[in-house]
Amino acid sequence: MDSMLDDRFVLDDSSAVGLSEQFGTPLYVVSEAAFRSRLRRYREAFAAAYSATRLSYASKANSILMILRIAHEEGYDIDVASEGELRAALLAGIPASHCHLHGNAKTERELDFALEQGIGEILVDNFRELDRLRVRNLGSTKLMLRLAPGVDPKTHQAIRTGQADTKFGFSIADGSAERAVDFCLSHKLPLHGFHCHVGSQLLDPDAQRAGGAQIAAFAVAMEGKSAFTATLLNVGGGLGVRYLPEHHPMPVEEYCQLIVDAIGGAIGDRHPTLAQEPGRSVIAEAGVTLYRVEVVKDVSTTKGPKRYVVVDGGLSDNPRSAMYEAKYEVRAIASGETSLATVSGKHCETDTLFSDVHLPTNLAEGDLIQVLCTGAYNASMASNYNRFPRPACVLLGLDGQAKVIQRRETWDQMFSSQVLPG
């Protein structure tokens, strides 16, 4: 499919009004058809590019149980980065053997829990973790080493992970990665291969290509030096999405081919399984968020008049704008002549959600707006800041019905952990 083609999920006006009346706002909405079609397209693209592939869904992007279940139904294993994410996958009915545990500071408890459950794979980040694994019964769990390939992706600082100055993984450049392989071999740990994840929301896939080539070259070098043959190479996630119309992520077919070629160039006639773990690129564009306008305020600034459109959510349901200066496309469920506005949340920060968006000039209190491409890293990053309940999420099913897959948080849930001693 052409990357110029905009196939992001968008609610039509009457559905937006109906859903907001039935379920309230703010409301996350996910299209099952859009999610499944992205999962399938990625799977088919990877399988077309290479004969032995495996995909995991990076559950950090959105770990609502039904989302995990759909990803698994579409043939994906589940990448978890904490005990909580593993518990979510188990509650969704996914066997631990189909889950892979990430994390740069896994606790003893997390490792014990994952191993007791029979986790399929652990992606080891550091020597402390190797020490902890060495003295445990690993059963049938496989180990992979997360490597820091020393490549610098072009994305926001907070979601760059592949560069040399990183807290993630064993550095190839300083020899840590080689020492980690030797450690696994000398302690007879079940090492299967290597992993890297260089960053997220990458519209230019150069860093992933370089990361893939680096871990493949490292695998070949280890064959010579340590007589270790990698049977699995995993290049993580990171493919970008179209937050704004001018964003043009590489079509997934081209992307998978590029990754396969980058690795193929280094491994020659070896034939390891190749793996990826996409999150954002399969779920972000399948979701939108509905907000209701609470206040429209016109202020005078030194640069002239400015309009604030304040909605009934904000930082607590979408922290990405504050964290990464993330941009989104906002559409009003109303029409008319437009002017520039800044959409803000109702938190006690200047929680600008979206600056300089075109919205109808007559937009007023009570009107709805929808924000596109919010399926990833919104629900999963939501908080209770300012004691806001986390929003509900509805799935628009293949049968056209809207089903609640996450209830709006209740006051009882919010305060259930609180203790007033005495």
Q: Which stretch binds ligand PLP (CB under 6 A): 277-285, 286-294, 363-371, 408-416?
A: 277-285
Structure tokens at 396: 């628009």
Binder of ligand PLP out of 83, 277, 285, 329 (CB under 6 A): 277
Binder of ligand PLP out of 278, 319, 345, 375 (CB under 6 A): 278
208 binds ligand PLP (CB under 6 A): no
Alpha carbon dihedral 185, 188, 192, 194, in 10-degree steps, equals -40
Give min distance, CB of 186 to ligand PLP, in A. 27
Give min distance, CB of 139 to ligand PLP, in A. 23
Tell me the one-letter amino acid at 264: G
Total of chain residues touching ligand PLP, rule CB under 6 A? 15
- Catalytic residue from among 99, 196, 348, 373: 348
Subset of 96-155 contacting ligand PLP (CB under 6 A): 102
Structure tokens at 354: 């979206």
Give min distance, CB of 407 to ligand PLP, in A. 25
Give min distance, CB of 382 to ligand PLP, in A. 16
Structure tokens at 74: 């579409």
Give min distance, CB of 58 to ligand PLP, in A. 3
- Annotation marks residue 256 as catalytic: no
Contacts of 336 (CB under 8 A, 6+ apart): 360, 361, 362
Q: What is the DSSP string of 77-142?
A: EEEE-SHHHHHHHHHTT--GGGEEE--SS--HHHHHHHHHHT-SEEEE-SHHHHHHHHTS--TT-E
CA distance 137 to 109: 14
Find out whether 312 and 291 touch, Cβ atoms under 8 Å. yes
CA distance 198 to 372: 26
Q: Is 322 exposed, middle or buried (0-12, 13-18, 19+ CB in 10 A)?
A: middle
Question: What are the E-state strand segments in 302-351?
Answer: 304-311, 330-332, 338-344
Subset of 302-361 contacting ligand PLP (CB under 6 A): none
CA distance 236 to 160: 13
Q: For ligand PLP, which is the closer residue by CB, 198 or 368?
A: 198
CA distance 228 to 220: 9
**Which residue is closest to ligand PLP by CB?**
237
Q: For ligand PLP, which is the closer residue by CB, 172 or 333?
A: 172
Binder of ligand PLP out of 38, 142, 197, 209 (CB under 6 A): 197
380 binds ligand PLP (CB under 6 A): no
Binder of ligand PLP out of 280, 292, 331, 347 (CB under 6 A): 280
Give min distance, CB of 306 to ligand PLP, in A. 33
Site string for ligand PLP, 211-240 (x = CB under 6 A): -------------------------xxx--
Q: For ligand PLP, which is the closer residue by CB, 205 or 345?
A: 205
Q: For ligand PLP, which is the closer residue by CB, 120 or 345?
A: 120
Subset of 57-86 contacting ligand PLP (CB under 6 A): 58, 60-61, 79
279 binds ligand PLP (CB under 6 A): yes
169 binds ligand PLP (CB under 6 A): no
Q: How far is CA 80 from CA 110, 135, 177, 258, 383, in A?
A: 11, 23, 22, 26, 19
Give min distance, CB of 237 to ligand PLP, in A. 3
Structure tokens at 51: 């004969």
Contacts of 289 (CB under 8 A, 6+ apart): 26, 27, 28, 29, 313, 317, 318, 370, 371, 374, 378, 391
Chain contacts with ligand PLP (rule: CB under 6 A): 58, 60-61, 79, 102, 197, 200, 236-238, 277-281
Positions marked active-site = 348
